[in-house]
Amino acid sequence: MTPTGLVAGTVPAAAVPHRVSTHPRTYLMCSPEYFTVEYAINPWMNPEDPVDVDLARRQWESLRAAYTALGHTVHTIDPEPGLPDMVFAANGATVISGKVLAARFKYQERHAEGEAYAAWFRRQGYAVADPVTVNEGEGDIVFAGRAIIAGHGFRTEAETRHEVEELFRLPVISVRLVDPRFYHLDTALIVLDEHTAAYYPAAFDEAGQAALAAHFPELIEAKDEDAEALGLNGLSDGRNVVLPVQATQLAERIRAAGFDVVPVDLSEFRKAGGGPKCCTLELR
């Protein structure tokens, strides 16, 4: 479903705006010291497909270097043994206007991650709100400037929207995910700026597609092959879009819309269903 007057994935050359990075960002990351695939809690995970830990470390370092090269600040949280998915910092919390909603994970294997991230934020002096319902941080709670997009269907509970609205005082647009491969919202949607997003329509039900089309004046559709490469699991500062290198067609469409694309290879993290965004929590 596409906003009126736009052809999905294309922007007329004369209409391409000049995109501007809004401000330097601050991110939180967790090194992949203990990263591995020990269990399967999403369709991407296969414990019989081993992770190359050395390669994962190099790929993670290249992602951090990409952020600092763009002028952003990266903080790190110490990884903890026995928490192989702690590297996916985006799931650890949601941070907007200095307020923190801690994560409460669906699966037992990840429960301790929520406690580790909440403890880090408290040590840094943040006021942390403990969650009532299950939410997996920025995996399903996506800041979109004028509103928050909240995904549900596989991990985060739909009722989380009420906690999000109350804490952050922003309208929340609730969308249902329907394809288990795209178990988190950040695998199916990337907000490029306040008015523009890229998404994979088939990951959402019809009501979710309509809600996104109503909110974003510009929507760029990802094709099957880019979505299946987790190409939407990227991060934008309003001008520069850090994107999995495998998502070649999506990169072309985002460039055509006036953004600069910074490709990175996080192929080892895809084995656990993650990418650049999964590895990155924004501290707003």
Annotated catalytic residues are 184, 278
Residue 248: partners with Cβ closer than 8 Å, 6 or more residues away:
226
User: Distances from the Cα of 142 to the Cαs of 25, 37, 43, 105, 146, in angstroms?
Assistant: 15, 26, 22, 17, 11
Q: What strands lie across the sheet with 235-236, from one edge to the other?
A: 235-236, 240-244, 260-264
Tokens 């952003």 -> residue = 72
Q: Which residue from 75, 164, 84 is spatially nearest to 120, judged by alpha carbons? A: 75
145 DSSP 8-state letter: S
Amino acid making up residue 72 = H
